[in-house]
Structure 1
Amino acid sequence: MAAGRFPVCGRKTSGPTQTVKVVVLGQAGVGKTAMTVRFVTKRFIGDYDPTLEAIYHHRTFIDDNPVQFEVLDTAGQEENSLALEQKIRWGDAFVIVYSINDICSFEEVMRIKFLINHTKGPNTPVTLAGNKRDLELDRMVARLDGEKMADTLGCGFSEITTKESYIEVARVFEGLYARWKEQTLTKDVRCRSPKSSPKLSPRPHIRRVKNLLKSTTTGKHLDVPSFGANFC
């Protein structure tokens, strides 16, 4: 990570603070809460109640721009899809976490991404994070498989060890912010670009006028009263 990314006393900032709502999703036990707390506090805490949910607030600087993260740390996703969709509607961008030593958590990624696509649209910023890289001896999901999954689903991808590296965790959120910002700018440009006027075909009564005028050149009688009624 480049130096100077995080708050420094007296720093001059460019522009107002941007707020991005991030939802962290994944099966229970993959390290969602540990990852979120690591990002917000830089500390690693290994044991959490997997049934609790919370929103964490974290202000930082990315490329000298102030950014306010609101991070929803969700409980395990064994819940019904309707409850999960409600949380997805809240978010702007998403981290889907799986554990490299848990194949079931990796297989759950597809379902979660489908729900995001269904609820927010296929272009929603999403990054896939393979956590617990420090448990290499217990690995069940190859890095290449994670990369292929991310490529197939159109997501960003990282393999991280929340336990051993704060920088790797921070890069996940910074990369997600970059994807979100790029999409937001693209939307703004699309909304501001002038829309081309549709090419209008002649209205039926105009065509009728032309046909009637043409008929006068062939010597046919023009019924003026009838024509006036139809034109209006």
Structure 2
Amino acid sequence: MRLIHNMTTIAECATPDYSRPNRALKIAVIGGGGVGKTALVVRFLTRRFIGDYERNAGNLYSREVQVDGEQVSLQVQDTPGVEMSDNGAVLPDHVSCSLQWADAVVLVYSVTDRRSFDLVSQLHQRVTRCGNGGGGPPVVLLANKADLLHLRRVDPQQGPLLATTLGCAFYEVSASEDYSQVHDAFHRLCCQLAKQRPPQSVPPAPAEKRRPKSPNMQDLKRRFKQALSAKVRTVTSV
């Protein structure tokens, strides 16, 4: 049985076709501790369906999806929380490896935690360094826990301003209440990655076969006369 749930341009496939390997879209989710990264990942991947994704021991979530008509393996890495020290952001080894592994990154802070917001710029610098000179992978900035208005410590205007400075998209979301904005953020990255598919090699055109020329009738007549004359001479000589 195959279940496909339409998600604008992303469809979820419960029983994909494994006849050929699918292209993988790899997304790392990073941010300070306690900002709700895991809740965001699960919220996006389950879309209110339970048990239709896989997670390994390293908190790598995966599921088969269709992006713009192409079936791909979506892999989302939930990383440990990053802490701030006097010398800046302290990245656990697992986070550093995830940044090297990922094709795209979701930066998360909580509107209830000012330190997590202050951490974003340093994390973005680390992400950019992973770009191998290409400016870094695509990034989306998420401000989580937007439903906790009474605990807000980051003004609503500061998130969009920071995203503009960093040159990335911004979404203020609530993993516990609003699925649509969470989906839109991840969906944006998926579509960006899908468009970055390697150019397909075009097989060279087969060499044009030269069409044989039509026989020249005058030439044929000349050759026929020569052959006939040689035959007559042979008979006469005998």
- The TM tier, using the shorter chain, reads 0.5 to 0.7
1:181 alignment counterpart: 194
Cα–Cα, structure 1 residues 107 and 44, in superposed 2: closer, same or farther, change >3 Å? farther
Q: CA deviation at 1:22?
A: 0.5
2:105 alignment counterpart: 94
Q: CA deviation at 1:123?
A: 3.8
- Is 1:126–2:139 an aligned residue pair? yes
State how many pairs are aligned. Answer: 181
Tell me, in whole angstroms, the C-alpha distance in 2 between the residues paired with 1:53 and 1:75.
Answer: 10
- Is 1:147–2:165 an aligned residue pair? no
- Is 1:116–2:127 an aligned residue pair? yes
Q: What secondary structure does 2:32 align onto?
A: coil
Q: CA deviation at 1:165?
A: 2.0
Residues 36-185 of structure 1 correspond to what in structure 2 (within 5 A)? 36-43=41-48, 53-78=58-83, 80-81=90-91, 83=93, 84-121=95-132, 122-182=135-195, 184=196
| Structure 1: gaps (5+ residues) | 46-51, 193-232
Please report the TM-score for the alignment, with normalisation by the length of structure 1. 0.67
Tell me, in whole angstroms, the C-alpha distance in 2 between the residues paired with 1:21 and 1:157.
Answer: 19
Deviations 1:38-69 (A, max 9, x none): 11223499xxxxxx851000222333332321
Tell me, in whole angstroms, the C-alpha distance in 2 between the residues paired with 1:25 and 1:42.
Answer: 21
Aligned counterpart for 1:25 among listed residues 17, 23, 30: 30
Instruction: Give 1 or 2: higher helix fraction.
Output: 1
User: Contact between 1:35 and 1:162, CA under 8 Å: does it hold in 2?
Assistant: yes
Q: CA deviation at 1:82?
A: 6.8
Cα–Cα, structure 1 residues 153 and 4, in superposed 2: closer, same or farther, change >3 Å? closer
User: Contact between 1:61 and 1:67, CA under 8 Å: does it hold in 2?
Assistant: yes
Letter in 2 for 1:22: I
1:217 alignment counterpart: none
Identity %: 32
Please report the TM-score for the alignment, with normalisation by the length of structure 2. 0.65
Q: CA deviation at 1:20?
A: 0.7
| Structure 2: gaps (5+ residues) | 1-5, 51-56, 84-88, 203-238
Tell me, in whole angstroms, the C-alpha distance in 1 between the residues paired with 2:49 and 2:116.
Answer: 21
Cα–Cα, structure 1 residues 174 and 4, in superposed 2: closer, same or farther, change >3 Å? closer
